[in-house]
Structure 1
Amino acid sequence: MDIWTYQSVEHVTVAGEAWLASASEYPRSMRALWESRPWAPSVLPCGRAFDVISMPALFGRRVLDELWASGPGCGPVAAVRARTLLFVQPGAAPRLRRLLAWEEWARDVPPLLCHGKGDTVTVPPLQRPAGGPDTPGHGPGRWIVAPESREPWLPGASVVLWACVRAAREPVDAR
Structure 2
Amino acid sequence: MDIWTYQTVEYVTAAGEAWLASASDYPRSMRALWESRPWAPAVLPCGKTFDVISLPAVFGRRVLDELWASGPGCGPVASYRGRTLLFVQPGAAPRLRTLLAWEEWARDVPPLLCHGLGDAVTVPPVQRMLDAPDSPGAGRWIVAPDSREPWLPGAAVVLWACVRAARGQGAGRDRVSNGA
Cα-Cα RMSD: 1.5
Greater mean deviation of Cα atoms: 162-171 or 12-21: 162-171
User: Hey, what does 2:150 align to over in structure 1?
Assistant: 152
Give every structure 1 segment of 4 or more consecutive aligned residues whose post-TM-superposition deviation is greater than 2 Å. Answer: 5-10
- How much has 1:134 moved relative to structure 2? 1.8
Is contact 1:134–1:142 with CA below 8 Å preserved after alignment? no
Match of residue 113 from structure 2: 113
Compute the displacement of 1:155 (Å): 0.1
Structure 1: any 5+ residue segments left out of the alignment? Answer: none
State the TM-score, normalized to the length of structure 2. 0.91
2:37 is aligned with what amino acid? R
Could you give the per-residue CA deviations for residues 29-57 of structure 1, whole angstroms, max 9, x where no partner exists?
10001000000000000001000000000
What is the CA distance between 1:8 and its match in structure 2? 5.7
Does residue 49 (structure 1) correspond to residue 49 (structure 2)? The answer is yes
Letter of the structure 1 residue corresponding to residue 38 of structure 2: P
Residue aligning to 1:26: 26
How many residue pairs get matched?
171
1:9: Cα distance to partner? 2.9
**Structure 2 unmatched ranges of 5 or more:** 174-180
The aligned residue for residue 65 of structure 2 is 65
1:68 shift after superposition:
0.4
CA distance in 2, matches of 1:101, 1:169: 17
Larger radius of gyration: 2
The corresponding residue for 1:138 is 137
CA distance, structure 2, for counterparts of residue 138 and residue 129 of structure 1: 15
Q: Partner of 1:2 in structure 2? A: 2
What's the offset of the Cα at 1:93? 0.1
Taking every aligned residue pair, what percent have the same amino acid on both sides? 82
Q: TM-score by structure 1 length?
A: 0.94
Partner of 1:40: 40
Task: Give the aligned residue type for 1:161.
Answer: L
Q: Distance in 1 between matches of 2:16 and 2:91?
A: 20
Counterpart check, 1:94 vs 2:94: yes
